[in-house]
Amino acid sequence: MSFSTAFVKKRTAKNTFYGHINTIVNWQDIDNEIVKYYSVGKSATGKPSYSGLLLFKMLLVGVWSGNLSDRLVEEMVNENLSAMQFCGLELEDEVPDHSGLSRFRSLLAKNNAFESIMNLINKQLEQHEIVVKTGVKIDASITDSPRKPRGKTTYQIAEDRKEDEVSEAEKDKQTADIKLVKIVQQGVDTDARWSKKGHKYYYGYKKHIATDENGLVLSLETTAANEHDSLTFEKVIDKATLPKEARIYADKAYKSEKHDKMLLNKKLKNRIHHKATKNHPLTSWQKKFNKRVSSFRYTVERTFGGQVLWFNAGVAKYVGMVKTHAQHALECIAYNLKRSPVLIVKLQISKHQVVN
């Protein structure tokens, strides 16, 4: 502890968010996970490298502050006392520069470490009793890439949410298209693909998530934008490690005989929207069922909306599937942690009301 510690605590006393996060999260467990992928050694000048936990906290600060660039994160931690204190730094300490932050992210992205960290943090949130897995909502959202192809080129385009009649063979073809010859054009993200939603075309990726009843993200998959939502359905469910009899809510894009059987075999309750097919319109009961299911699915839409509003999510900051998946995972971690203090307070209030 340095002579400036008391001064910093006094100046940051009104900023309670970072303090709440430090109370909720056991950072030692997170540090133990990070060192599996990033070990502290010596820099080129012989000085000890910065700890992985410090760099990870800086990445979180960047997302919470609107998905800042690495340069802006460095500046913020240098200038913002609350962010500096959250990262465990004193006024006299040197802040890691943007290049070190970028290398750290790339290393963890390469090893899919951010998803592992998200799972570990979610286990801690379960201990706080704010993760409720009885009703799980699944959906996907577009992450637009600014690194689009230019000129007249033919691309396969998947129309989002309008593939009721797509056969399994056609869905497999969409997946296979991701492995086709790369687009040869400088500055283009060749892992991304085109998709159509409504009347608008997008080039980028899809973020597939499963959320709990509070909208906290339980699991995550990242695909090219042209991959049909239903292809990741079982993967997202398996990653969420759900209890038996959990209700699975999803829109009609996920409806298929295969998925109905899969949910039955896993002893999960099927709450997927029914969809009309040729010569088979929805029955009155199916319409009522869909309306009822829609009233529960808003939480996953709120999760996507919250990430866009708070973190400027929805735009790929980096090039490639691996780094975009890391971005998605960081956004989901940041979202879960941002909502946790309020959810914990609400839980305590409800418990107090029950006792009284």
pLDDT tens track for 308-347 = 999 999 999 999 999 999 999 999 999 999 999 999 999 9
Residues 80 and 138 in one domain: no
Average pLDDT for 238-242? 97
pLDDT value, residue 179:
44
Rounded Cα distance, 210 and 134, in Å: 12
pLDDT over threshold 90, residue 225: yes
Residues 182 and 327 in one domain: yes
Q: What one-character-per-residue DSSP string does 67-106 give?
A: S--HHHHHHHHHH-HHHHHHTT--TTSPPPPHHHHHHHHH
With respect to residue 120, please indicate whether it lies within any of the assigned structural domains.
no
Rounded Cα distance, 164 and 274, in Å: 11
Q: Three-class SS of residue 200?
A: strand
Start-to-end CA span in the chain (Å): 43
Residues 50 and 139 in one domain: no
Domain count, the chain: 2
Q: pLDDT (tens digit, 9 = 90+) per residue, 133-145? A: 999 999 999 999 9
pLDDT value, residue 42:
52
pLDDT value, residue 178:
44
Average pLDDT for 215-236? 96
pLDDT value, residue 215:
97
With respect to residue 225, please indicate whether it lies within any of the assigned structural domains.
yes
Residues 166 and 300 in one domain: yes
Residues 270 and 210 in one domain: yes
Domain boundary, last residue among 111, 146, 170: 111
Residues 42 and 106 in one domain: yes
Q: pLDDT (tens digit, 9 = 90+) per residue, 57-107? A: 999 999 999 999 999 999 999 999 999 999 999 988 999 999 999 999 999
pLDDT value, residue 162:
46
pLDDT value, residue 352:
73
Residue the block writes with tokens 């996060």 = 21
Q: Which helix (H) or strand (E) holds 145?
A: none
Other CB atoms within 10 A of residue 59 CB = 21
Residues 138 and 286 in one domain: yes
Residues 138 and 259 in one domain: yes
pLDDT over threshold 60, residue 197: yes
With respect to residue 126, please indicate whether it lies within any of the assigned structural domains.
no
- Domain housing 19: 5-111
Domain boundary, last residue among 111, 140, 174: 111
Residues 105 and 208 in one domain: no
Band (167; pLDDT cuts 50, 70, 90): low
Residues 146 and 28 in one domain: no
Average pLDDT for 6-32? 78
Average pLDDT for 298-307? 96
**192 vs 160, which has greater pLDDT?**
192
Residues 215 and 343 in one domain: yes
Q: Three-class SS of residue 137?
A: strand
Q: State the pTM of this model.
A: 0.88
Band (13; pLDDT cuts 50, 70, 90): very low
Average pLDDT for 282-304? 94
With respect to residue 123, please indicate whether it lies within any of the assigned structural domains.
no
pLDDT value, residue 278:
86
**192 vs 7, which has greater pLDDT?**
192
